[in-house]
């Protein structure tokens, strides 16, 4: 056994396709443990898809993912997850504490109901994001920033070694942004690995130790200082690789599972 700690997340030759068309090409990267990692790239670059593939929510066309050197598991050994706010129905009949308690279900197992220990853990998570006073608030009454904090608290209640967050800073106010960043730093101090999909280039250097530059393929990955450079950003944002796009289209045409798919007429869903 030697020197360097094993990577927190190991992504090996990961290709992800939607309707047979590749949207992420051959991502091969190791994410070091105990760091704040930003995933940066233009719209439609596949940032969320990468997160969802790491979490096992989409089945990759090829490749595999390991977390702490092992295939994904649940609860204490799994992944904490902060999804995009729009991904759930905020009219659902639950209050803030209910949502945060969901983060403890994984360790609780079948049939058992959350007890005092779980409630304490959830309240502690709410305190960390400054929402303890709103624990009994119905979730429909929350502001956008507050909804984001609830999701963050739920992830904290998961108490996982690795956290994956999909645009937690998008559309929140300055106070929430600061609060979220504070939580990220606390997590790092506790030795957790946090991977954050981020869209604001201005704050990348301030927030993260490590960065993944993504645009359908991995453009670069590494410590901020070496990686977050002008050339790499130009390569990431300077238009897509036309041939890669066309190859994806050729795969889509050549495959069978795709002909049925077309964008819905009114752009919904």
Partner 1 sequence: MSLLDATSLPVLIVAALAASCCALIGSFLVLRRSALLGDAISHGILPGIVVGFALSGSREIVPMFLGALVAALGTTLLTDLLHRRLRIDGDAAMGVVFTTLFALGVVLLEVYAGRVDLDPGCVLHGQVEYAAIDPASFAILGWTPPRGAVTLGVTLLLDLVFVLLLWKELLITSFDGDLAHSLGIPPGPLHLALMGMTALTTVASFEAVGSILVVAMLIVPAMVATLLTDRLLGVLLAAQGVALASAGLGLWSAQRLDTSVAGMMAVSVGGLLAVAFLLAPGQGWLPRRLRRLSLAIRIAEEDLLGSLYRAEERQAGGGGIERPSGAPPHHPAWLRIGAGLRLRWRAEVVKSDRTLTLTQRGRGRGRRLVRRHRLWENYLSDLLALPASHLHDPAHRIEHFLDEELTRRIEERLDGPERDPHGRAIPAADHEPGEEER
Partner 2 sequence: MIPVEYNTAVVLLGTAALGLAAGSTGSLALLRGRALLSDALAHATLPGICLAFLLTGSRSHPALLLGALATGALGVVLVAALSRRGRIKEDAAIGAVLACFFGAGIALSGAIQRRSPDAAQAGLDGFLLGQPAGMLLSEALTIAGVAVATLLLVALLAKEWKLVCFDPDFAAIEGWPVRLLDLLLMLLITTTVVLALPAVGVVLAAAILIIPATAARLWVDRLVPMLILASSFGVLASVTGTLLSARFPALPTGPLIVLAAGSLFLISLLVSPRRGIVARATAERRRRRERERRRLLGTIFTEQEAAPESPVSEGALARRRVWGPGRLRAHLEDARRRGWIRWGPRGIELTDAGRQRAARIVRASRIWEQYLLSQAQIDRDLIDLDAEEIGHLLPPHLVAELERSLADRGLLPLGSEGSPA
User: By CB under 8 A, is residue 110 in contact with partner 2?
Assistant: yes
Residue 247 binding partner per list partner 1, partner 2, none, with a CB distance cut-off of 5 to 8 Å that depends on partner kind: partner 1
State the minimum distance, in angstroms, from the CB of residue 239 to partner 2: 29
Laid out side by side, the sheet with 62-67 consists of 21-31, 9-18, 62-67
Residue 3 binding partner per list partner 1, partner 2, none, with a CB distance cut-off of 5 to 8 Å that depends on partner kind: none
User: By CB under 8 A, is residue 176 in contact with partner 2?
Assistant: yes
CA–CA distance, 101 with 174 (Å, rounded to integer): 26
State the minimum distance, in angstroms, from the CB of residue 267 to partner 1: 6
Q: Are 166 and 84 in contact (CB under 8 A)?
A: yes
Residue 189 binding partner per list partner 2, partner 1, none, with a CB distance cut-off of 5 to 8 Å that depends on partner kind: none
CA–CA distance, 14 with 61 (Å, rounded to integer): 8
User: By CB under 8 A, is residue 99 in contact with partner 2?
Assistant: yes
Alpha helices in 190-241 (DSSP H): 201-207, 224-227, 230-237
Which stretch, 32-40, 173-181, 184-192, 243-251, contacts partner 2 (CB under 8 A)? 173-181
Binding partner 2 by CB under 8 A: which of 25, 81, 163, 228? 81
Q: What phi and psi values does residue 157 have, to the nearest 5 degrees?
A: -65, -20
Binding partner 2 by CB under 8 A: which of 33, 102, 235, 247? 102
State the minimum distance, in angstroms, from the CB of residue 133 to partner 2: 9
Cα-Cα-Cα-Cα dihedral sign, residues 177, 179, 182, 184? negative
CA–CA distance, 146 with 158 (Å, rounded to integer): 19
User: By CB under 8 A, is residue 241 in contact with partner 2?
Assistant: no
CA–CA distance, 254 with 20 (Å, rounded to integer): 9
User: By CB under 8 A, is residue 94 in contact with partner 2?
Assistant: yes
Helix axes 116-128 and 144-158, enclosed angle (nearest 10): 130
Residue 111 binding partner per list partner 2, partner 1, none, with a CB distance cut-off of 5 to 8 Å that depends on partner kind: partner 2
- Closest residue by Cα to residue 51 from 22, 77, 16: 16
Positions in the binding site for partner 2 (CB under 8 A): 55-57, 73-75, 78-79, 81, 83, 87-89, 92-95, 98-99, 102, 105-106, 108, 110-114, 138, 140, 142-146, 154, 158, 172-177, 257, 260-262
């Amino acid at each position: 056994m030697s020197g360097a700690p094993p990577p927190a997340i190991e992504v090996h030759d990961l290709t992800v396709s939607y309707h047979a068309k590749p949207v992420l090409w051959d991502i091969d990267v190791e994410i070091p443990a105990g760091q704040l990692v930003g995933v940066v790239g233009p719209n439609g670059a596949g940032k969320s898809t990468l997160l969802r593939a790491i979490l096992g929510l989409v089945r990759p066309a090829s490749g595999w993912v390991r977390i702490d050197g092992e295939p994904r598991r649940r609860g204490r050994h799994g992944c904490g997850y902060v999804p995009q706010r729009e991904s759930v129905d905020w009219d659902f009949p639950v209050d803030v504490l209910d949502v945060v308690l969901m983060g403890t279900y994984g360790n609780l197992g079948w049939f058992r109901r959350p007890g005092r220990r779980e409630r304490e853990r959830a309240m502690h998570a709410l305190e960390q994001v400054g929402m303890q006073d709103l624990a009994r608030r119905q979730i429909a009454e929350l502001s956008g920033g507050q909804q984001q904090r609830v999701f963050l608290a739920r992830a904290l209640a998961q108490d996982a070694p690795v956290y994956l967050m999909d645009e937690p800073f998008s559309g929140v106010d300055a106070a929430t942004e600061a609060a979220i960043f504070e939580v990220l730093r606390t997590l790092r101090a506790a030795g957790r690995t946090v991977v954050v999909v981020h869209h604001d280039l201005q704050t990348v250097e301030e927030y993260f130790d490590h960065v993944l530059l993504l645009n359908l393929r991995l453009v670069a990955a590494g410590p901020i200082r070496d990686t977050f450079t002008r050339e790499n950003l130009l390569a990431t944002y300077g238009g897509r690789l036309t041939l890669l796009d066309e190859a994806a289209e050729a795969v889509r045409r050549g495959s069978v599972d795709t002909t049925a798919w077309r964008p819905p007429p009114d752009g919904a869903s």
